Amino acid sequence: MYTKRVGNLGERIAENYLRDKGYQILDKNYVFRMVGNPQRGELDMVVKKDDIISFIEVKTLRLAQGEPFLPEEKVNFSKQRKLRMAAESWLMKKKIPLNSKWQIDIVAIRIRGKKVEVSHFENAIGYK
């Protein structure tokens, strides 16, 4: 339960951060089930700024003082593949052409005590 609470907190922080940067929130917590596969993919957020749709993966870690681990390092190859498939599913569901401008970003949040650090990695995961 602790991990879920930290994740929810991170998503709220990321949403506020992106809104402050001028992004429009289009969707949150979109779930994609792969045909013939019990696994599912999820998009934490779908946002838009200018004419680019960004699919946001939020990674949040509550860290002890001096702990060097970076939350963005938790987005491994398998997770990247699921994100690409979920992004394409969302575009198709919304009838948006796959060749429109879109990208997958990572918002990494590190919480140390009361200090919060946010890093936004735009177009972090290639899809073509």
How confident is the model over 45-73, as pLDDT tens digits?
999 999 999 999 999 888 665 556 666 77
Q: Domain containing 70: what range? A: 2-125
**What does pTM read for this prediction?**
0.87
At 76, which amino acid appears? N
Q: What is the DSSP letter of 101?
A: S
Q: How many domains does the chain have?
A: 1
CB atoms within 10 A of CB 109: 25
Q: Tell which wins on pLDDT, 34 or 100.
A: 100
Which CATH number goes with the domain that contains 36? 3.40.1350.10
Q: Tell which wins on pLDDT, 51 or 128.
A: 51
